[in-house]
Amino acid sequence: MSVSQKEEFTHQTVLLAEAVDALALAGDRATGIYVDGTFGRGGHSRRILQQLGPSGRLLAFDKDTQAIANALQINDSRFEIVHDSFASMADELAARNITQVDGILMDLGISSPQVDDAGRGFSFRSDGPLDMRMDTTRGISAAEWLATEDEQMIREVIKNYGEERFAFQIAKAIVAGRQVKPISSTRQLAEIVAHAVKTREKGKDPATRTFQAIRIFINKELEDLEIGLAAAYSCLAPHGRMVVISFHSLEDRIVKQFFASKVNVEQPDRRLPIRTVDLPKAQMKLIAKIKPSEQEVAHNPRARSAIMRVAERLPGAAS
C-alpha cells in the first residue's frame, strides 16, 4: 500500500476537548512542560500546542512509525516527538534535563488508522498479514509468536488479556491449525477462532477477544501502562494533572487502581505513637471521571467504550 493510500485512513480523537481541558492549561500553566504519551495522529498534541504559550513545551511519544512520520510534519519549536513507548518517559525527560512536567496525557489503545489498515494486522474485518505490532521495527509479529509458542501460553494470553472464556478451545485450535498450515493472515486466525467459539454475544465477532488479547500481549501494552503510570507520577509537578483515556476494562482497572493507591493512603495503627504531621498523606486527588457524550458516540462509535480519568498531584506528595 502506498503512502497516499495510507493517508486516507482517518482518526477521530476521542474526548479531544475534554482531555486537553482537563490539563488546565490556562494562565501560568500555559508556559509549562507537557507530555502527550500517545501521539497517534496528533489530535491531542495539536490542540495542546494551540493553548500553550510561546515558552511552553510539549514532548510526545509513540511506538508507531506512521505516527512518527505524521508528528514530524509539525513545524513548531515547542514540540518534540520521541519514537518510543511512554514507558520510557522518565529516561527521556531526564536526558533533556527535565525534572518535572505540568501535565501528562495518555490516550491508550490503538488508533483508527491502525485498525483500518489491513496491512497492520490488527483487525479481522479485512484480510492482511498477521502482524499486530505497533512498532514494526522491533519485536516479533503475532504470526511469528503463534508459530512457536506452546499451547498453554497461548491459552493464558487469550484468557488473561482477552477475558475469553473459550481460551482453551481457541488455543487448541490454533496449535492444530498451524500444524496443517502456517497462520500468517488475519483471516486465517479469525476463521480458526470462529470454528472454536460456538456461541458469542449478539453483534460481537467471535474473534474480537482473541485479537485484542494477542495485540495487547505482542505490544506489552499492560506492562507499558504500569511502568508509564509510575513514571508519569514521578515526573509530575505539584498541581500537575494526569489524564488517562482507556478503552477496555483491563486498562481502566490498572488506571483506577493506580490512582486509588495515590489517593487512599493506608494509615498506621492509631495506637502507635506517631505525630499527626508524620502520618502518611494522600499524594493525589481525583479530579474527574468522564465518558464520551451520546453525541460523540453517535458521531464516532469507536468512542463508546472510552473512560477518561483525571488526577492531580498534591503539593508535598512523596515521590
pLDDT of residue 56: 97
- Cell 506512521, residue? 66
Average confidence (pLDDT) over 172-180: 97
Asked if pLDDT for residue 187 goes beyond 50, the answer is yes
43: annotated binding-site residue? yes
Asked if pLDDT for residue 260 goes beyond 80, the answer is yes
Closest residue by Cα to residue 120 from 140, 135, 109: 135
Q: For residue range 4-17, list pLDDT tens digits in order.
A: 334 444 567 899 99
Sheet (strand 284-290) strand order: 79-83, 57-62, 33-36, 101-107, 236-246, 307-313, 284-290
44: annotated binding-site residue? yes
The answer regarding whether domain 3-112+221-313 maps to CATH 1.10.580.10 reads no
Its sign, for the CA torsion 35, 109, 1, 83, is positive
pLDDT of residue 2: 31
Of 15-19, 203-207, 215-219, the one with minimum mean pLDDT is 203-207
Per domain, the residue ranges of the chain are 3-112+221-313, 136-218
Three-state DSSP class for 26?
coil
Cβ-proximal residues to 169 (8 Å cutoff; 6+ apart), any chain: 196, 197
Percent composition of the chain: helix, strand, coil (DSSP 3-state, to 5) = 45, 15, 40
pLDDT of residue 108: 94
The helix or strand, by DSSP H or E, that contains position 162, with its residue range, turns out to be: helix 151-162
User: Facing residues of 83 across strands?
Assistant: 62
Q: Backbone dihedral region of 24: left (phi > 0), alpha (psi from -120 to 50 degrees) or beta? A: left
61: annotated binding-site residue? no
Asked if pLDDT for residue 87 goes beyond 50, the answer is yes
Residue 182, Cβ neighbours under 10 Å: how many?
14
- Assess contact for 118 and 186: CB atoms under 8 A: yes
Question: Class of 136-218 per CATH?
Answer: mainly alpha
What rounded mean pLDDT belongs to the chain?
Answer: 90
pLDDT of residue 120: 85
pLDDT of residue 275: 54
Asked if pLDDT for residue 279 goes beyond 60, the answer is no
Residue 28 gets which letter from DSSP?
G
Asked if pLDDT for residue 199 goes beyond 90, the answer is no
C-alpha cell at 33: 512542560
Asked if pLDDT for residue 1 goes beyond 60, the answer is no
- Cell 516527538, residue? 81
pLDDT of residue 5: 39
188: annotated binding-site residue? no
Three-state DSSP class for 50?
helix
State how far the Cα of 193 lies from the Cα of 206, in Å rounded to an integer: 7
pTM given for the model: 0.89
- Cell 518510543, residue? 84
32: annotated binding-site residue? no
